[in-house]
């Protein structure tokens, strides 16, 4: 009888633990990945990437993110200037023919506080380096709008970070200080619970 009771407790406990882990898929129609970079010291150029995809697991009970992956189509770079966008796609910058994606990944990370920081890896131009994001979960709630026939649970997130592009081998125009080294990233997204 004791063995049966222990088995039941283990089953219910494991089901409860699994139930706390929810998969979220990023809604690409409510995702913004912007960047700022200095232009010859005069001002900062604002750009964005128009096409991404991503998902992750979130455990609300432990406030833990797992298996987060955001894949950015580098060819979708947009700065509202066709000639500059073409140059950004070239080997001088994003080299989109050889490196069609930029990837941010987090295997597992506990968000002790929100807002807080989340640590992951950024892969750009084939180079992977650790990076920290200031990360805030804005809201987790049932969506007020229908998606198909239902109103799913949705998480809203804001994140910010910066990195030096030279650390990823992107050194064009650094010697004459025509284009800044530091890239500021601005991330806003909604993700739907599956």
Q: With respect to residue 168, please indicate whether it lies within any of the assigned structural domains.
A: yes
Split into its structural domains, the chain has a count of: 1
Tokens of 71: 């894949």
Q: Which residue do the tokens 């069609």 mark? A: 100
- Write out residues in the chain with pLDDT < 50, as ranges: 5, 8, 13-17
Tell me if 105 sits within 8 A of 99, measured CB to CB: no
Q: With respect to residue 141, please indicate whether it lies within any of the assigned structural domains.
A: yes
What pLDDT is recorded for position 177? 95
Q: With respect to residue 59, please indicate whether it lies within any of the assigned structural domains.
A: yes
Q: With respect to residue 14, please indicate whether it lies within any of the assigned structural domains.
A: no
Which CATH number does the domain housing residue 149 bear?
Answer: 2.40.128.110
Phi first, then psi, for residue 47 (nearest 5°) are -135, 180
What pLDDT is recorded for position 66? 95
Q: With respect to residue 61, please indicate whether it lies within any of the assigned structural domains.
A: yes
DSSP for residue 93: T
Question: Can you say whether the dihedral through the CA atoms of 121, 50, 63, 137 is positive or negative?
Answer: positive
Please name which of 189, 179, 153, 191 lies closest in space to residue 87, comparing C-alpha atoms. Answer: 179
Q: With respect to residue 15, please indicate whether it lies within any of the assigned structural domains.
A: no
Q: With respect to residue 8, please indicate whether it lies within any of the assigned structural domains.
A: no
Q: With respect to residue 2, please indicate whether it lies within any of the assigned structural domains.
A: no
Tokens of 174: 């650094």
Domain of 28? 20-193
Q: Which residue do the tokens 């700022």 mark? A: 36
Name the pTM for this structure: 0.86
**Consecutive H or E run containing 14:** helix 2-20
Strands 21-39, 116-124: pairing kind: unpaired
What pLDDT is recorded for position 114? 65
What pLDDT is recorded for position 18? 53
What pLDDT is recorded for position 3? 56
Tell me if 20 sits within 8 A of 58, measured CB to CB: no
Tell me if 32 sits within 8 A of 48, measured CB to CB: yes
* pLDDT tens digits, 130-141: 999 999 999 999
Tallying the residues shown for the chain, one arrives at: 194
Tokens of 152: 């799913």
């Amino acid at each position: 009888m004791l063995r049966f009771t222990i088995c039941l407790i283990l089953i219910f406990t494991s089901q409860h633990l699994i139930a706390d882990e929810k998969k979220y898929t990023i809604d690409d129609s409510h995702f913004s990945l912007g960047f700022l970079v200095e232009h010859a010291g005069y001002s900062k150029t604002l750009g964005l990437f128009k096409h991404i995809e991503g998902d992750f697991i979130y455990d609300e009970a432990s406030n833990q993110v797992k298996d987060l992956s955001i894949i950015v189509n580098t060819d979708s770079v947009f700065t509202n200037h066709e000639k500059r966008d073409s140059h950004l796609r070239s080997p001088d910058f994003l080299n989109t023919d050889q490196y069609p994606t930029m990837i941010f990944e987090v295997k597992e990370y506990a968000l002790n506080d929100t807002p807080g920081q989340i640590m992951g890896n950024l892969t750009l131009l084939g180079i992977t380096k650790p990076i920290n994001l200031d990360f805030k979960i804005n809201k987790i709630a049932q969506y007020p709008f229908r998606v198909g026939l239902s109103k799913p649970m949705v998480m809203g997130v804001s994140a910010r970070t910066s990195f030096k592009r030279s650390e990823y081998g992107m050194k064009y125009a650094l010697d004459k200080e025509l284009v800044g080294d530091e890239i500021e990233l601005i991330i806003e997204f909604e993700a739907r619970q599956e």
